[in-house]
Structure 1
Amino acid sequence: MTQSSTSTSPGTSRSGPTVGSAPLLGEPWGVDRADGTRWAKDPSVVRFQGRYLMYFTLRPEEPGAGLCVGIAESRDLASWELVARLHPGGDYDAKGLAAPGAVVVADVLHLFYQSYGTGPLDSICHATSTDGVTFERDASNPVFRPQGEWNCGRAIDADLVVDGDRLLLAYATRDPEMREQLVGVAEAPLGSGFGRDDWRDLSLDGPALRPELDWEGECIEAPAFVREGGRPDGGLVMFYAGAYNNVPQQIGWATSEDGVTWTRGTVEPFLPNGAPGTWNSSESGHPGVLTDDDGRTYLFFQGNDTGGRTNLLAGAEIVWAADGRPALRED
């Protein structure tokens, strides 16, 4: 399915839908469902082999089946076409898979996604692709679950960034009572296969981020890595979702010098939910960040105005101030 939109260069100014005062990259997008609504969640976008690919959570085609991962393609970041689905591939994700995080390493696309529907047993799984559409599952799946007494052992919402000679993985988990959502970080050698034996949990003594601000409620989740300014040598920045879905969920950001200890960039949401009557009045949630080949950076996120009955994906360009603070491009 293709959502019609005027083709433009990414990030150029245009009339059309906005988030606050910032123009979106195109119309909010989702996959058509049999009941006439559209639904898509949890975006992760990369540029791979000359086009943009977005991986996201998708409702099943068959009633009673589990969630799957949708794969959409774009040439301009404004219009998207659903090109494939990734369905469960083993006992570990038989109930469903969701919340993908994609990263390209040495011309191979690595997709990390969570198993879904098993509560505290949900784990991070791994698959690789040379074309971005067909995937080979990691024989050691699931590849990561957190350690430490501060969490329940669950791992969801993976996101990745290359950091020197290592690959950093940010994940969400919950406290042992399954009440509070928290974020941790792990690492694997960049030259490894990123299988189960390659990961080292860096958040053994406690979470990298936990909800502390009023608007974050009981939830910090959906971490999304980016380099400050879109530069390979820029400092580490993490966008994240605060509060559970539709509470409303809103987006914040934090910085780190080592990938382990994180400091919030602001006490207010970077991207709040929209005003009543707008397309994202129920939430602006679950961020994903693309750094393009030219260093320009784009924030993708989910939003809806139905309390979660529908969900759409949208994007806007990030600009960076001289002091390294991000903002949404408004011109």
Structure 2
Amino acid sequence: MGPVPLLGEPWAVARADGSLWAKDPSVVRFQGRYLMYFTLPQPEPGTERDLCVGIAESRDLRSWELVGRLYPGGDYDAKGLAAPAAVVIGDVLHLFYQSYGTGPLDSICHATSTDGVTFERNATNPVFRPQGEWNCGRAIDADVIVDGDRLLLAYATRDPEMREQIVGVAEAPLDSGFGRDAWRDLSLDAPALRPELDWEGECIEAPAFVRTGGHADGRLVMFYAGAYNNKPQQIGYATSEDGVTWTRGVTEPFLPNGAPGTWNASESGHPGVLTDDDGRTYLFFQGNDTGGRTNLLAGVEIVWTDGRPVLREG
């Protein structure tokens, strides 16, 4: 596969040393502009290993401006927060993110906003950790999608030995407020996806929901990242009729890392999907050519052919 046309140039935020770094994009359209939520190092001297959520704004999906940050707000995320997922429900933007830096205790948290930049935390944070003997109890890399009268949440976790990264799915009533007592783990007995293909290595993570064709009644599709960062990480997808049982749509990467010398030679990872108001679909992802010393964010458009996603090439 040759280079895929990007939506503008790869983008990130400059750190104190001038290097560019941003990861884990999630993009929504809210109040007349696009907002991207992503993982970003905290800017204070000596805290660059402590992560926060960056907020960037765009009018055209091609150029971005940093407009805010979401910092730790309680004991549960005091060591950092990362991997945000945004969804707009009515007039409210809901943000799900993981606590960071506590290993098997990392959990999913929830916050809401009426302007997309300032947030109120859920009083019951953290709101979700998985159950079942097949996992270690950790939850990271959340993504969410409205599915009728429920909100589906996909999450990554690990096996009890903390070796293999795997994905599960949970649900909460759409009118529940998404607090800790609202969630039901749909992957109680077994994961929704675990690494099986050679290119996936020991890792399936960063699930990203969308529906085929950008239609509310389309089949559920979950893009995911296969392999740990820079191994290289690449992007695949799976489909589902019920949100519980998932079938891979491809056996080779849907969006591979780039060729040597390209900006994403080390990986194309951690997808996030936007279905725009006009039904067009865009896939955002992280990439770099430095083995992870830098990280950039980029987007591509997806078109649908016979219910299957295809990268737009022109």
User: Any idea what SS the aligned residue of 1:23 has?
Assistant: coil
- Would you say 1:43 and 2:30 are equivalent positions? no
Q: Supply the distance in 2 between the matched residues of 1:276 and 1:72 (Cα, whole angstroms).
A: 29
Q: 2:201 aligns with which of 203, 206, 217?
A: 217
C-alpha displacement of 1:63: 3.5
User: Any idea what SS the aligned residue of 1:134 has?
Assistant: coil
Aligned twin of 1:163: 147
- Would you say 1:253 and 2:237 are equivalent positions? yes
Aligned twin of 2:308: 325
Q: Supply the distance in 1 between the matched residues of 2:257 and 2:4 (Cα, whole angstroms).
A: 13
Aligned twin of 1:120: 104
C-alpha displacement of 1:34: 1.6
Q: Does structure 1 retain, via aligned residues, the 8 Å contact 2:3–2:258?
A: no
- Would you say 1:20 and 2:2 are equivalent positions? yes
Q: Does structure 1 retain, via aligned residues, the 8 Å contact 2:92–2:114?
A: yes
CA RMSD, 1 decimal: 0.8
- Would you say 1:299 and 2:283 are equivalent positions? yes
The percent of aligned pairs where both chains have the same amino acid is: 88
- Would you say 1:55 and 2:46 are equivalent positions? no
Q: Which amino acid aligns with 2:308?
A: R
**4+ residue segments displaced more than 4 Å:** none
User: Any idea what SS the aligned residue of 1:314 has?
Assistant: strand
Q: Supply the distance in 2 between the matched residues of 1:286 and 1:208 (Cα, whole angstroms).
A: 17
Give deviations 1:256-295, integer Å, cap 9, x for gaps: 0000000000100000000000000000000000000000
Q: Supply the distance in 1 between the matched residues of 2:172 and 2:90 (Cα, whole angstroms).
A: 15
Q: Which amino acid aligns with 2:313?
A: E
Q: 1:188 aligns with which of 149, 172, 182?
A: 172
Q: Supply the distance in 1 between the matched residues of 2:37 and 2:183 (Cα, whole angstroms).
A: 23
Aligned twin of 2:221: 237
Q: Which amino acid aligns with 1:249?
A: Q
Q: 1:75 aligns with which of 34, 59, 75?
A: 59
User: Any idea what SS the aligned residue of 2:208 has?
Assistant: strand
Q: Supply the distance in 2 between the matched residues of 1:20 and 1:31 (Cα, whole angstroms).
A: 27
Q: Supply the distance in 2 between the matched residues of 1:45 and 1:158 (Cα, whole angstroms).
A: 14
C-alpha displacement of 1:36: 1.6
Q: Which runs of 5+ in 2 are unaligned?
A: none
Aligned twin of 1:10: none
Q: Supply the distance in 1 between the matched residues of 2:97 and 2:4 (Cα, whole angstroms).
A: 30
Q: 2:295 aligns with which of 279, 299, 311?
A: 311
Give deviations 1:208-257, integer Å, cap 9, x for gaps: 00000000000000000000010111100000000000000000000000
Aligned twin of 1:86: 70
Aligned twin of 2:15: 33
C-alpha displacement of 1:106: 1.6
C-alpha displacement of 1:163: 0.4
Q: Which amino acid aligns with 1:90?
A: G
C-alpha displacement of 1:60: 1.2
Q: Supply the distance in 2 between the matched residues of 1:154 and 1:32 (Cα, whole angstroms).
A: 30
Q: Supply the distance in 1 between the matched residues of 2:131 and 2:53 (Cα, whole angstroms).
A: 26
Q: Does structure 1 retain, via aligned residues, the 8 Å contact 2:283–2:300?
A: yes
Alignment coverage as a number of residue pairs: 312
Q: Does structure 1 retain, via aligned residues, the 8 Å contact 2:235–2:253?
A: yes
Q: Does structure 1 retain, via aligned residues, the 8 Å contact 2:203–2:226?
A: yes
Q: Which amino acid aligns with 2:243?
A: G
Aligned twin of 1:144: 128
Q: Does structure 1 retain, via aligned residues, the 8 Å contact 2:237–2:249?
A: yes
User: Any idea what SS the aligned residue of 2:76 has?
Assistant: helix
Q: Supply the distance in 2 between the matched residues of 1:276 and 1:76 (Cα, whole angstroms).
A: 30
Q: Which runs of 5+ in 1 are unaligned?
A: 1-18
User: Any idea what SS the aligned residue of 2:88 has?
Assistant: strand
